[in-house]
Amino acid sequence: MVDEQFERAASFLLAAQSPDGAWRDFNLKPGRSEAWTTSYAGASLAHVAAAVSGVDVAPALAAARAFIDAARHPRGGWGYNSRCDPDADSTARAILFLRALGDAVPLHDYAALAKFQLESGDFSTYRAFAGRPGWCAGHPDVTVVALRALLEALPPGHVILRRGRARLARYVRETSNTLSYWWPSPLYMAKELLLLQREDAAGFHLLLPRSSATSGASCFDAALALEIAVLRGARQDNAQANARRLASRQNSDGSWPSSPLLRITDPLSTQPGDRRFRASEIASDDRRIFTTATVMSALHAAAHGFDASTGVCQTG
């Protein structure tokens, strides 16, 4: 039954893909996201490709790869869309997508990402953005994704990784939470931290606070909670029960319902929790691409585990 849901979700994503290979979502002031959401949705689709044998996802992934190659900024890295300067999160997601396809990522892409690290060890979203100091400060939710993207390019003891790990450990220890700068749900960073711990050859480990979705949680939060539970080694029967509940919320078109999930943080907010941060707008993925990709990944983890999800999809 789960494989049927994968195929419906994959069919939805294929239908939602633009002719140029991009997946565009989030209707924000700079326009819709392009490289960021393309990389996120593409990586999810690549990871579940083996479970959607009834849907040929290879052409869609090849088109997405071509789009990402063309969207690379002349100075290196990727931005939210073609109107925006490169940012660390979009660059990290693009690298993770290319790796999910089995591609060899050029060293200059890794170098472009490394330039976003601050002296503190954090990674900022932007290197420089006039009048937006908060967006150029260190963000733990960006740092963890950047470290995941850099793991393959750097030796375990490299100073970039050591400083980043130390900063994340200090943040979690000092705040006792996984509050993010860009995400209203603490589950987003909790999942990314657990993925980093699983992937990091240096044995990076944090004592993370327990986190789970509340009753009536959005599909996005329920998916994050499911993946967290699987990463923590939840009992198979419990994980499967939660997966069935989440799968039952799938729309007839193969997507899952959207919800407010991305904080458009006031650029004058310099840290999670301050007054401007709390008053910031929270946006929905109105095209449901981001939520659907997140749920699809979580259901795949619950059904097939993470060993299978590390396999790559060859798209020729």
For the chain, domains (ranges, CATH) are 2-309 (1.50.10.20)
Task: Identify the band that residue 304 occupies on the pLDDT scale cut at 50, 70 and 90.
Answer: confident
- Residue ranges of E strands in the chain: 25-28, 31-33, 260-264, 281-284
Cα distances (angstroms) measured from residue 292 to each of 70, 82, 285 = 25, 24, 10
Strands 281-284 and 260-264: antiparallel
179-206 pLDDT, tens digit each: 999 999 999 999 999 999 999 988 888 8
Q: How far apart are the first and last CA of the chain?
A: 29
Q: What is the C-alpha to C-alpha distance for residues 51 and 10, in angstroms, rounded to an integer? A: 10
Tell me if 285 sits within 8 A of 16, measured CB to CB: no
| pLDDT value at residue 307 | 52
Q: How many Cβ atoms from other residues are within 10 Å of residue 274's Cβ? A: 15
Q: What is the C-alpha to C-alpha distance for residues 68 and 62, in angstroms, rounded to an integer? A: 10
Tell me if 45 sits within 8 A of 57, measured CB to CB: yes
Q: What is the C-alpha to C-alpha distance for residues 131 and 13, in angstroms, rounded to an integer? A: 37
Residue 13: strand, helix, or coil:
helix
| pLDDT value at residue 308 | 39
Q: What is the rounded average pLDDT for all residues in the chain?
A: 92
Please, which contacts does 212-219 make with residues 24 or more away whose CB atoms are closer than 8 Å? 213/187, 218/257, 218/259, 218/261, 218/291, 219/246, 219/249, 219/256, 219/257, 219/259, 219/291, 219/295
Task: Identify the band that residue 309 occupies on the pLDDT scale cut at 50, 70 and 90.
Answer: very low
Name the pTM for this structure: 0.94
Instruction: Pick the closest to residue 122 from 109, 132, 137, 135 (CA basis).
Output: 137
Q: How many Cβ atoms from other residues are within 10 Å of residue 251's Cβ? A: 15
- Residue 218 is classified by DSSP as -
Of 214 and 55, which is predicted with more confidence? Answer: 55
Q: What is the mean pLDDT of residues 300-314?
A: 62
Kindly tell me if the per-residue pLDDT of 234 is higher than 90: no
